[in-house]
Amino acid sequence: MKFFYKRRREQGFLYVLPVLVIVFFILVFPLIYNVYLSFHQSDLYSIDLSFVGLRNYYDLVRDSGFLNAFQNTLIWTFWSVFFQVLLGLVAAILLQRISYGKRIFQILIMLPWIVPGIAAAASWRWLYHPDFGIINYLMSLLGYDPVIWLGDPNLALPAVIVVNIWKMYPFAMLIVLARLQAIPSSIYEAAEIDGGNSLQIFLRITLPMIRGVLSILTLLLTIWSFNAFTFIYAMTGGGPARSSEILGLRIYRDALENMLFGKAAAEAIFLFIIILAFSVVYLHYTYDWEEGV
Amino acid sequence: MKLIKIKPSQIVAYPFLVVFVCFSVFPIFWMVSSAIKPSTEIYSIPPKIFTSFTLQHFRYMLFETHTIRYFLNSLIVASITTLISLSFALPGGYGLARFNFKMKNAISIAILFSQMLPLAVLLIPLYMVLAFLGLLDTYLGLILTYLGFAIPLTTWLLRGFFAGIPKELEEAAMIDGCTRFQALMRVLVPVAMPAIIATGVYSFMVAWEEFLFALSFTSSDRVRTLPIGINSFIGEYGVDWGAVMASSTLASLPIIVLFMIFYEQFISTFTEGMIKG
């Protein structure tokens, strides 16, 4: 069979080349151009650039609005990912246990992940509606006063975090469940014969087996939440009084509403570096490279 | 009579799963139910769950707004993105799965990392490049942008699938006189059809719901996609919630149906691509 693999090196590269060209022009080149922009200042309504070195970055660190958005992004990401993974893990373990109706339960639980983000944002805004929303109605049945969920500086961000959890926990469930199903049942049977209880089996067998998947899953969800835009934009617009403004929204506003390309580019690079640094450190401490996922 | 054996430990799981299903499904149920309620009942306290059925919101949305146009725009952009990205990903995924060449690992990792790139980093440069090329507010500009995300992703998913197919399959075809590319198209593609469909469905879903770039790179009703249409409905002063819920339902239904039809292939291809990748 050697004949067929003659010149396989060059040939293989040709198959992948079109993909690389696209990746270069649509992802790599814009990234480099963005770095270039972040060292320049652009004036309102003109795209003339003047070199300002690191000033855009220097300004960021002293910009309280930017620091506020950064802090909100950390809060938003932490709580979103924490509950996405937790709920996804619990749902996956429950689904793994049942045999009857598994498929229909899985499909129904996964629906939020399928629904377009903006449709989800619109639906939740309607659920949170202060006068006609069903959440406030249920609260009134329990004897609470109506709450202006998306208009209260203390509640707006948590209210949208709930939507973000709702949208992505099914993804966590999907990935964890697939890994759980790949664990041979003989391992569990052996543990049961040896007299292990459910908690012991979970801590000593299940958890170590799904550690790799949980690690990658957490990283992906963190990156996605860090880059989020749609829910905040469509549900609170960052308000009230910037209490729910996150970096994704701020960059969009500086770029396309205020036309401050240089400043927005610096903010975007800041976001990118944070994500990159987090990913590297995170993988270094959690991911077992030799064992793989 | 077939008896279904259910262990006690299983029965305990059901009530908890019902809670998860309620959490997942209720907001979607409420969206659809608000879309088919008369306005008087949408704004009634206490809210009514089972009510009289009406298509007034759909009628309004379809005949008195640009929603049909937005729907078609979304369909065009998402379909073309899916077809083009599959035609790049098919040879790309095959090449990564079958050959060893210099930089192969570096390329694989680069493709994976491209999924981590913040959209915000691409927003400004892509906006400026599209403006320079005169492609703002065109289908082509939007499709090109989406290809940047769809192609690496579909390549990665198909790579995982091809790696699981035995080499002997295309070698047999090559002994019979096919070139390698012919063997790929005539022998492997039919075998890989379920994975190709599943990958295509995923790339369609991503393009169908994309929001940030569609919002930033389109400005006219001629090109605007359905998500941007929904956004303009909820941005109005005095929101017409019946119309908003009807258009949200319209945006959700096609992909929920796609997902249910291709559920099996979709789940297996997706999880294998993610986990074994």
Is the pLDDT reported for residue B71 higher than 80? yes
Which one-letter amino acid corresponds to residue B150?
A
pLDDT tens per residue, range A16-32: 888 888 888 888 888 89
**Are residue B178 and residue B260 in the same domain, yes or no?**
yes
Residue B48 per-residue DSSP state: P
Average model confidence (pLDDT) across chain B? 86
Interface confidence (ipTM) of the complex: 0.89
**Is A246 strand, coil or helix?**
coil
pLDDT band at B117 (very low <50, low <70, confident <90, very high): confident
Q: What is the mean pLDDT of residues A104-124?
A: 95
**Are residue B105 and residue B235 in the same domain, yes or no?**
yes
Is the pLDDT reported for residue A86 higher than 50? yes
Tokens of A135: 């959440």
d(CA A213, CA B272): 12
**Are residue B109 and residue B198 in the same domain, yes or no?**
yes
Residue B242: partners with Cβ closer than 8 Å, 6 or more residues away: B34, B35, B37, B39, B42, B56, B57, B60
Place of tokens 């291709």: B262
Per the structure, the complete domain to which residue A278 belongs is given by: 63-286
Say what the pLDDT of residue B277 is. Answer: 47
Would B61 be classed as within a structural domain?
A: no
The reply to whether B47 touches chain A by the CB within 8 Å rule is yes
Higher pLDDT, B118 or B89: B89
Nearest by Cα to A137 from B160, B120, B101, B47? B47
pLDDT band at A2 (very low <50, low <70, confident <90, very high): very low
The reply to whether A175 touches chain B by the CB within 8 Å rule is yes
How many structural domains comprise chain A? 1
Would B1 be classed as within a structural domain?
A: no
Give the distance from residue B5's alpha carbon to the nearest chain A alpha carbon, in angstroms. Answer: 9
Give the distance from residue A13's alpha carbon to the nearest chain B alpha carbon, in angstroms. Answer: 7
Q: What is the mean pLDDT of residues B210-225?
A: 93
* Residues A16, B249: C-beta atoms closer than 8 Å: no
Say what the pLDDT of residue B205 is. Answer: 92
Is the pLDDT reported for residue A6 higher than 70? no
Would A18 be classed as within a structural domain?
A: no
Would A69 be classed as within a structural domain?
A: yes
Per the structure, the complete domain to which residue B145 belongs is given by: 66-275
Task: Look up the CATH number of the domain holding residue A160.
Answer: 1.10.3720.10
pLDDT band at A171 (very low <50, low <70, confident <90, very high): very high
Would B25 be classed as within a structural domain?
A: yes
Percent of chain A with pLDDT over 70: 92
Average model confidence (pLDDT) across chain A? 87
**Is B177 strand, coil or helix?**
coil
Say what the pLDDT of residue B107 is. Answer: 80
**Are residue B49 and residue B143 in the same domain, yes or no?**
no
CB A217 within 8 A of CB A81: no
Would B149 be classed as within a structural domain?
A: yes
Place of tokens 């099914």: A170
Would B157 be classed as within a structural domain?
A: yes
Q: What is the mean pLDDT of residues B247-260?
A: 93
How many structural domains comprise chain B? 2
d(CA A256, CA B106): 35
d(CA B80, CA B84): 6
Q: What is the mean pLDDT of residues B100-106?
A: 76
**Are residue B89 and residue B33 in the same domain, yes or no?**
no
Would A4 be classed as within a structural domain?
A: no
Q: What is the mean pLDDT of residues A260-283?
A: 89
**Are residue B52 and residue B135 in the same domain, yes or no?**
no
Would B175 be classed as within a structural domain?
A: yes
d(CA B131, CA A255): 14
Angstrom distances, CA of residue A163 to CA of A77, A107, A118, B216, B245: 12, 19, 11, 23, 17
* Closest alpha carbon within chain A to B31: A123
d(CA B67, CA B247): 7
Task: Look up the CATH number of the domain holding residue B194.
Answer: 1.10.3720.10
Tokens of B110: 């680069």
**Are residue B50 and residue B75 in the same domain, yes or no?**
no
**Are residue B39 and residue B93 in the same domain, yes or no?**
no
DSSP A189-200: HHHHHTT--HHH
Say what the pLDDT of residue B4 is. Answer: 57
CB A27 within 8 A of CB B106: no
Would B98 be classed as within a structural domain?
A: yes
Would A293 be classed as within a structural domain?
A: no
Would B265 be classed as within a structural domain?
A: yes
**Are residue B222 and residue B120 in the same domain, yes or no?**
yes
Say what the pLDDT of residue A145 is. Answer: 85
Higher pLDDT, B194 or A225: A225
Would A157 be classed as within a structural domain?
A: yes
Tokens of A72: 């909100």
* Residues B208, A116: C-beta atoms closer than 8 Å: yes
CB A63 within 8 A of CB A149: no
Say what the pLDDT of residue B29 is. Answer: 94
Return phi, psi of residue A291, to 5°: -80, -25
pLDDT tens per residue, range A199-251: 888 888 888 888 888 988 999 899 999 999 999 999 998 889 899 999 999 99
Would A153 be classed as within a structural domain?
A: yes
* Residues A105, B148: C-beta atoms closer than 8 Å: no
Nearest by Cα to A79 from A281, A228, A287, A263? A228
Residue B33: partners with Cβ closer than 8 Å, 6 or more residues away: B49, B51
Give the distance from residue B47's alpha carbon to the nearest chain A alpha carbon, in angstroms. Answer: 7
Cβ contacts of A128-131, under 8 Å, gap ≥ 24: A128/A159, A128/A235, A129/B241
d(CA B164, CA A153): 52
